[in-house]
């Protein structure tokens, strides 16, 4: 009885410490939240969330798309749905729905910035619960949560709207609820846990399609723990049926939103790059963006975990290996697609590995506990615990300083970009490669996104660059005829494209600013003809 009381006291102390730590981390995340996004996709998610919160679809509307061509939009809105003349968000709707929910619940526009930090804290709590479920030890969940929170990925993307934190949180919620099914005291509770598990996982698929790959890991769990004997249980039947229905719903969404059961934003019809999104050649060879995809995963994980990664082999010392089998399956399944992805998991794309981080962190927690259990009680165990604390805390000041610097630089950059537009006519149209989303999102000006003009050919893996000159000049000429002022901000282009020369060949460029060069694009006297594009057909009204 004395031992039971002691265990209860320890458990209460662990939970109290966890609660205090989560509150402290939440305060830090909210203080470091990114309020001036610097990446185009972030602004796309935020704009779609605002549209949904206002009762509209995830759409971008500009009358110029109907009057001239469907090229007046930020980068994230490239989906065309005939006969609808609006442009739709080119990503699944899950994350914009979460951002919209922040507005709905609080009634505050600024709440959208704090949805991801809130889910980051929830992710840590769910990591704790998963560790407790798998290992039967609260210490495992506690250490796993701390290892997750100690990495740079958590702080960089726990404070940004463009993040895979929501993916990780809903995957963990689904997995924890599924594990609770077998511990349910009654059939009714088991069915409730199974329903929650399925709905959480299905929603994660609508955040990122690759989150589907948690299902093979759950199959590994069933094989390792139950050898599929539980398939006769009503709760497992319900869970499986709901997942199949969710998969059907995902395909139906694709058919309705993208125009085909297997079509996605990666489809050539929707302006995807002229190379496949996933290819085995990217694993060990160069991928189109940022290099070798498989090696990039390794570098990103090392940058996140550093020496803590040495606890992975130590985990093999634990007596019960089945939890490790599941954690390994979950981590590998969630990482696998990004080893074949055209955008290597480096830079802003390092966020893609986040859903796997809690599973790897729990493996490391198991490794630490296995080492500690083999040490004599007393100071040797405290010494090892102190070493772990140092490894967790040592990089944090640098990580937090990096996030603060990012926020300050992005805020300064945004102020500068808005300054480029200040003073121009409210109906002005801007051409720029680097600042399309900033101008559209923060100033409300129309943008001619000329990057959307050339179509891609997945067979030759090239763009139809020959479309740029005749189509761009034609669209600018039409803007002039509509009486719309046109400005061009020269910030650099894709390799092989020099927009300023294309415009100068047809129009008169009047410099209104020198750093960066900003030109007012005016028609030449005599209304010269548009550059002859031969047989080139330019996209018409959206």
Cβ atoms of residues 487 and 512 within 8 Å: yes
Q: How far is 348 from 536, CA to CA, in rounded Å? A: 36
Q: How far is 212 from 437, CA to CA, in rounded Å? A: 30
Q: How far is 149 from 410, CA to CA, in rounded Å? A: 24
* Pairing relationship of beta strands 77-81 and 286-287 according to DSSP bridges: unpaired
Segment among 156-170, 283-297, 406-420 with least mean pLDDT: 283-297
Q: Residue 294's pLDDT is what?
A: 94
Provide the token pair at 145: 């949560």
Q: Is the confidence at residue 1, as pLDDT, over 80? A: no
Name all contacts of 186-189 with Cβ < 8 Å and 24+ positions apart: 187/234, 187/235
Q: Is the confidence at residue 534, as pLDDT, over 70? A: no
Distances, alpha carbon 299 to alpha carbons 291, 357, 503, in Å:
12, 14, 43
Q: Is the confidence at residue 377, as pLDDT, over 90? A: no
- What is the pLDDT confidence band of residue 513, given thresholds at 50, 70 and 90? very high
Q: DSSP of 424-484, one letter per residue?
A: S-TT-EEE-SSSHHHHHHHH--EE--GGGSSPEETTTTEE-GGGHHHHHHHHHHHHHHTT-
H or E element, residue 81 = strand 77-81
In the block, residue with structure tokens 């480029």: 420
Percent residues over pLDDT 70 in the chain: 95
pLDDT (tens digit, 9 = 90+) per residue, 167-199?
999 999 999 999 999 888 788 999 999 999 999
Q: Helix, strand, or coil here: 462?
A: strand
Report which DSSP code applies to 332.
H
Q: For all residues of the chain together, what is the average pLDDT?
A: 91
Percent residues over pLDDT 90 in the chain: 70
pTM: 0.94
- Please compute the mean of the pLDDT values over residues 313-319 and round it to a whole number: 86
Provide the token pair at 295: 């090696």
- What is the pLDDT confidence band of residue 379, given thresholds at 50, 70 and 90? confident
- What is the pLDDT confidence band of residue 320, given thresholds at 50, 70 and 90? confident
- What is the pLDDT confidence band of residue 496, given thresholds at 50, 70 and 90? low
Q: Is the confidence at residue 460, as pLDDT, over 70? A: yes
Q: Is the peptide bond before 513 cis (omega within 30 degrees of 0)?
A: no
Q: Residue 5's pLDDT is what?
A: 65
- What is the pLDDT confidence band of residue 448, given thresholds at 50, 70 and 90? very high
Q: Residue 269's pLDDT is what?
A: 80
Higher pLDDT among residues 132 and 228, named by residue: 132
Q: Residue 495's pLDDT is what?
A: 61
In this structure, how many other beta carbons lie within 10 angstroms of the beta carbon of residue 57? 17
pLDDT (tens digit, 9 = 90+) per residue, 250-280?
999 999 999 999 888 888 888 788 888 999 9
Q: How far is 191 from 193, CA to CA, in rounded Å? A: 5
Q: Is the confidence at residue 494, as pLDDT, over 90? A: no
- What is the pLDDT confidence band of residue 480, given thresholds at 50, 70 and 90? very high
- Please compute the mean of the pLDDT values over residues 372-386 and round it to a whole number: 84
Q: Is the confidence at residue 117, as pLDDT, over 60? A: yes
Segment among 187-191, 352-356, 495-499 with least mean pLDDT: 495-499
């Amino acid at each position: 009885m004395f031992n039971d009381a002691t265990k209860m006291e320890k458990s209460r102390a662990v939970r109290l410490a966890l609660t205090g730590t989560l509150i402290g981390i939440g305060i830090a995340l909210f203080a470091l939240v990114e309020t001036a996004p610097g990446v185009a996709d972030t602004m796309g998610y935020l704009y779609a969330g605002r549209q949904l919160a206002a009762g509209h679809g995830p759409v971008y509307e500009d009358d110029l798309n109907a009057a001239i061509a469907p090229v007046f939009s930020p980068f994230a809105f490239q989906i065309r749905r005939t006969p609808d003349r609006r442009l739709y968000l080119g990503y699944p709707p899950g994350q914009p729905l979460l951002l919209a929910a922040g507005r709905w619940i609080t009634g505050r526009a600024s709440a959208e910035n704090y949805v991801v930090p809130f889910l980051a804290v929830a992710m840590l709590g769910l990591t704790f619960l998963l560790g407790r479920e798998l290992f039967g030890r609260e210490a495992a969940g506690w250490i796993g949560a701390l290892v997750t929170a100690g990495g740079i990925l958590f702080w960089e993307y726990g404070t940004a709207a463009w993040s895979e934190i929501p993916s990780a949180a809903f995957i963990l919620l689904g997995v924890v609820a599924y594990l609770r099914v077998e511990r349910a005291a009654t059939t009714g509770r088991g069915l409730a846990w199974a329903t929650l598990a399925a709905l959480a996982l299905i929603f994660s698929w609508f955040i990122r399609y690759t989150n589907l790959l948690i299902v093979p890991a759950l199959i590994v769990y069933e094989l390792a723990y139950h050898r599929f004997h539980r398939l006769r249980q009503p709760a497992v039947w319900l869970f499986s049926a709901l997942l199949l229905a969710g998969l059907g719903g995902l395909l139906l969404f694709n058919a309705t939103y993208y125009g085909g059961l297997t079509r996605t934003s990666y489809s050539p019809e929707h302006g995807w790059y002229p190379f496949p999104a996933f290819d085995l050649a990217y694993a060990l060879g160069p991928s189109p963006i940022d290099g070798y995809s498989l090696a990039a995963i390794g570098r990103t994980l090392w940058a996140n975990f550093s020496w803590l990664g040495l606890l992975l082999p130590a985990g093999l010392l634990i007596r019960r290996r089945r939890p490790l089998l599941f954690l390994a399956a979950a981590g590998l399944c969630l990482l696998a697609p990004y080893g074949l992805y055209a955008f290597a998991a480096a830079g802003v794309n390092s966020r893609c590995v986040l859903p796997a981080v809690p599973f790897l962190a729990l493996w490391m927690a198991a490794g630490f506990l296995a080492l500690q259990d083999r040490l004599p009680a007393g100071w040797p165990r405290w010494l090892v615990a102190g070493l772990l604390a140092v490894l967790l805390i040592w990089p944090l000041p640098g990580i937090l300083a990096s996030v603060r610097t990012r926020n300050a630089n992005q805020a300064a950059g945004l102020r500068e970009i808005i300054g480029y537009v200040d003073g121009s006519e409210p109906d002005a149209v801007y051409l720029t490669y680097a600042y399309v989303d900033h101008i559209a999102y923060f100033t409300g000006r129309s943008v001619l996104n000329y990057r959307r003009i050339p179509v891609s050919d997945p067979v030759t893996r090239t763009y139809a660059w020959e479309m740029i000159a005749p189509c761009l000049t034609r669209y600018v000429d039409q803007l002039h005829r509509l009486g719309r002022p046109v400005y061009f901000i020269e910030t650099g282009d894709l390799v092989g494209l020099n927009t300023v020369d294309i415009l100068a060949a047809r129009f008169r460029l009047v410099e209104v600013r020198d750093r960066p060069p900003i030109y007012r694009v005016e028609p030449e006297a005599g209304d010269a003809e548009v550059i002859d594009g031969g047989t080139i057909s330019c996209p018409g009204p959206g």
